[in-house]
Amino acid sequence: MKVVKLEDVLGTEFDVDGGNWISRRLIMKKDGMGYSVNDTIIKAGTETHIWYQNHLESVYCIEGEGEVVTLSDNKVWPITKDTLYALDKNDEHLLRAKEDMRMICVFNPPLSGKEVHDENGVYPVDED
């Protein structure tokens, strides 16, 4: 069994600041679960281009308000507390935060824990 407290991750190498967001990596590839779990803050007033070509992601908003714009069809999806969205087709999107948003993010395949978006909004594949 594994128990992780957010306070155990804060200030470590797994507390990753991506500029528009801060992602606290709770469960990672090394934990052998087949997925990873992040507690992420999306900063108010930001817009982030994301395109997880190598990962599927489910995101559950537990605080705040914003929106996701899927770039394939320019559809705007309002995101508020208690809303989950799933990027089940590696959807290229914009994530806009009207206020700070706290999100619980689950990735498959799992993240190693130190990833940041590249110039295309992509996390690289962990080849190990």
Domain assignment present for 105: no
Place 112 in a pLDDT band, splitting at 50, 70 and 90: confident
| Inside any domain, residue 119 | no
- Containing structural domain, residue 40: 6-97
Q: Has this prediction a pTM greater than 0.75? A: yes
**How many domains does one find in the chain?**
1
CATH number at residue 43: 2.60.120.10
Distances (CA, A) of 96 to 7, 13, 20, 29, 100: 27, 26, 10, 28, 10
Query: Encoding tokens for residue 115?
Result: 């990833």
pLDDT score at 37:
97
Confidence bin at 120 (pLDDT 50/70/90): low
Sheet holding 83-87, edge to edge: 15-17, 21-27, 36-42, 101-108, 56-63, 83-87
In a domain, 20, yes or no: yes
Could you tell me if residue 127 is inside a domain?
A: no
Gap between the Cα atoms of 49 and 96, Å rounded: 9
Cα(105)–Cα(60) distance, integer angstroms: 7
